[in-house]
């Protein structure tokens, strides 16, 4: 049995795939263009402040723990985390403030006290969201959507018979408006469309299942920061015999007789019996498979949103803020129209502020905080990002200053900025889109690229730009789907 596997890219899905295939007896090599593993899930320092560079939300830690467990290791010895009492703090311009407590009873009480919405309304809403998740989990998240056997089972039949429950014919915003009505709460739940880079006024109503996931499983914080997900899995992979070739960019996937046979870098040709790309699917085809069939319908889909991120070292503490904080725009519909239709940045953006020093004091000097300030933007299509960064910075500071009653600019002692072009440059994400394609279309789940090639034998795909989608949990599930398609050899 042939046993050499090459994985292109060491993002979290590439790391997870390498671990799973090494456990199945394969000789695994991972090629990474950067001098460090992790892709978007990396970290850096500005002076005495530490920042996670990319993803800042950690949910469903069981998918990380499972990787240690299948290797016969105790995850608590290598990767520590804790559950957050407050998942996120929300701020509106009219002075409304809401804490999304992990405890459901506390959360319901908070919503009733602050917004006047009865617990029954919220309970009914989340019950419907849970039903959507239960109906679709095995179809959309845990197996390939592109294998006939995935549809020949009782779970799929049950979902088809209850397809109206999935509310595919309405947008997420329509569902929230009809079921919740209260404007602040509608905007609160509309926000979850941004978890996969989509527009709540377009993405289908099935997406309320995302709310169920966060409400049911909660949010967590790794003891050593988000980057420790990468570092712990990287070390686990090496203990399983995975070989990493950092600073070595793959230039081409070699295909012979419609079968992948290895990769070519600037250094050499490396033969392999199986190849898996953790690179964004668009540059995988356009750069590494440019002589092969191009699945144009998939590659030309609308891209997800991107982001401008300000990394600010702040020389004071804000007791009213927590790990995750949202400062909402006043006109959410206009904001998303600006992003997805006008392809520019809103002059009244929703601002997300992540402050890991709230839970990891060593991330900032005493009396200071490390602010990761993220604003949703369109993907890169040759906008003037220098100009947009300057205008956006001013808008963000004005909003935060209004809501918190502070002159934040007086306390910024360290600063760096990440833009969509830089995201593409650092991670190969086409146009800097954070989640590959958007999920705005009704059948978007079926239009994501499969976890295997339908034209080239022994070629596989994992990561946020393919099925089942973006975000750490879904990337880890994509690795499992790939692994399940490749037979064990030991």
Confidence class of residue 1 from pLDDT cuts 50, 70 and 90? very low
Q: Are strands 4-8 and 27-32 parallel, antiparallel or unpaired?
A: parallel
Same domain, residue pair 165 and 184 = yes
Q: Residue 420's CB: how many other CB atoms inside 10 A? A: 25
Arithmetic mean of pLDDT, 334-359: 97
Same domain, residue pair 210 and 228 = no
Same domain, residue pair 15 and 66 = yes
Asked if residue 168 belongs to a domain, the reply is: yes
Distance CA 379, CA 397 (A): 23
Among 197, 217, 237, identify where a domain stops.
Answer: 217
pLDDT score of 129: 85
Confidence class of residue 382 from pLDDT cuts 50, 70 and 90? very high
pLDDT-wise least confident of 178-182, 208-212, 247-251, 412-416: 208-212
Same domain, residue pair 289 and 234 = yes
Same domain, residue pair 136 and 191 = yes
Among 180, 202, 217, identify where a domain stops.
Answer: 217
Virtual CA dihedral for 405, 411, 415, 418, nearest 10 degrees? Answer: -10
Q: Report the share of the chain in percent with pLDDT over 70.
A: 92
Same domain, residue pair 153 and 210 = yes
Residue 214 sits at φ, ψ, to 5 deg, of -70, -40
Same domain, residue pair 264 and 166 = no
Non-local CB neighbours of 327 within 8 Å, separated by 6+ positions: 91, 350, 351, 352, 353, 399, 400, 403
Asked if residue 360 belongs to a domain, the reply is: no
User: Is pLDDT at 209 greater than 50 in this prediction?
Assistant: yes
Among 217, 233, 261, identify where a domain stops.
Answer: 217
What does the angle CA 329 – CA 332 – CA 335 come to, to the nearest 5 degrees? 85
Same domain, residue pair 115 and 208 = yes
Asked if residue 150 belongs to a domain, the reply is: yes
Asked if residue 121 belongs to a domain, the reply is: yes
User: Is pLDDT at 141 greater than 70 in this prediction?
Assistant: no
User: Is pLDDT at 158 greater than 60 in this prediction?
Assistant: no
pLDDT score of 348: 97
Q: Residue 148's CB: how many other CB atoms inside 10 A? A: 7
Arithmetic mean of pLDDT, 265-276: 96
- Count of domains observed in the chain: 2
User: Is pLDDT at 478 greater than 50 in this prediction?
Assistant: yes
User: Is pLDDT at 443 greater than 90 in this prediction?
Assistant: no
pLDDT score of 149: 52
Asked if residue 331 belongs to a domain, the reply is: no
Confidence class of residue 135 from pLDDT cuts 50, 70 and 90? confident
Confidence class of residue 445 from pLDDT cuts 50, 70 and 90? low
User: Is pLDDT at 296 greater than 60 in this prediction?
Assistant: yes
Asked if residue 319 belongs to a domain, the reply is: no
Same domain, residue pair 212 and 263 = no
pLDDT per position as a tens digit, 222-232: 999 999 999 99
pLDDT per position as a tens digit, 76-94: 999 999 999 999 999 999 9
The CATH number of whichever domain residue 268 belongs to comes to 3.50.50.60
Same domain, residue pair 186 and 273 = no
Asked if residue 118 belongs to a domain, the reply is: yes
pLDDT score of 151: 43
Same domain, residue pair 186 and 230 = no
**What is this structure's pTM?**
0.93
Arithmetic mean of pLDDT, 201-226: 84
Note whether 280 and 430 are within 8 A (CB): yes
Non-local CB neighbours of 328 within 8 Å, separated by 6+ positions: 90, 91, 92, 93, 187, 191, 350
User: Which residue range(s) make up the domain with 182?
Assistant: 108-217
CA within 13 Å, CB half, 373: 28
Asked if residue 92 belongs to a domain, the reply is: no
């Amino acid at each position: 049995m042939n046993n050499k596997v090459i994985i292109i890219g060491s993002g979290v899905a590439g790391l997870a795939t390498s671990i799973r295939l090494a456990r199945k007896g394969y000789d695994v090599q991972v090629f990474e263009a950067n001098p460090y593993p992790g892709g978007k899930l990396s970290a850096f320092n500005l002076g005495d402040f530490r920042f996670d560079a990319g993803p800042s939300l950690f949910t469903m830690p069981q998918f990380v723990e499972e990787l240690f467990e299948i290797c016969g290791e105790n995850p608590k010895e290598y990767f520590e985390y804790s559950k957050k009492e407050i998942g996120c703090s929300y701020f509106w311009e009219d002075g409304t403030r809401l804490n999304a407590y992990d405890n459901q009873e506390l959360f319901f009480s908070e919503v009733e006290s602050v917004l006047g919405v009865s617990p029954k309304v919220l309970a009914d809403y989340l019950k419907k969201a849970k039903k959507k998740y239960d109906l679709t989990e095995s179809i959309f998240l845990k197996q390939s959507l592109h294998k006939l056997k995935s549809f020949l089972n009782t779970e799929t039949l049950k979902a088809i018979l209850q397809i109206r429950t999935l509310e595919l014919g309405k947008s997420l915003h329509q569902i929230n408006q009809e079921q919740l009505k209260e404007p602040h709460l509608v905007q609160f739940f509309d926000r979850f469309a941004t978890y996969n880079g989509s527009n709540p006024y377009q993405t289908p109503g099935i997406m309320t299942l995302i709310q169920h996931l966060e409400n049911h499983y909660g949010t967590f914080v790794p003891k050593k920061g988000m980057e420790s997900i990468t570092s712990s899995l990287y070390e686990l992979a090496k203990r399983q015999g995975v070989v990493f070739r950092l600073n070595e960019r793959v230039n081409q996937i070699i295909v012979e007789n419609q079968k992948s046979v290895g990769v070519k870098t600037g250094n050499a040709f490396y033969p392999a019996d199986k190849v898996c790309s953790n690179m964004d699917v668009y540059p995988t085809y356009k750069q590494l498979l440019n002589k092969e069939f191009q699945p144009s319908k998939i590659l030309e889909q609308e891209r997800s949103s991107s982001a401008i991120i300000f990394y600010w070292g702040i020389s004071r503490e804000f007791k009213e803020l927590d790990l995750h904080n949202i400062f909402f725009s006043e006109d959410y519909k206009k904001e998303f129209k600006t992003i997805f239709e006008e392809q520019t940045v809103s002059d009244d953006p929703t601002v997300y502020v992540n402050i890991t020093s709230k839970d990891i004091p060593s991330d900032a000097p005493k009396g200071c905080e490390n602010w990761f300030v993220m604003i949703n933007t369109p993907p890169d299509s040759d906008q003037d990002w220098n100009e947009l960064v300057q205008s956006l910075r001013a808008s963000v500071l004005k909003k935060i200053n209004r809501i918190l009653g502070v002159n934040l600019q007086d306390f910024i002692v360290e600063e760096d900025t990440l833009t969509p072009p830089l995201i593409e440059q650092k991670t190969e994400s086409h146009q800097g889109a954070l989640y590959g394609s958007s999920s705005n279309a009704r059948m978007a789940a079926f239009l994501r690229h499969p976890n295997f090639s339908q034209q080239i034998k022994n070629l596989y795909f994992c990561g946020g730009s393919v099925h089942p989608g973006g975000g750490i949990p879904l990337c880890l599930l994509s690795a499992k789907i790939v692994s399940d398609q490749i037979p064990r050899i030991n």
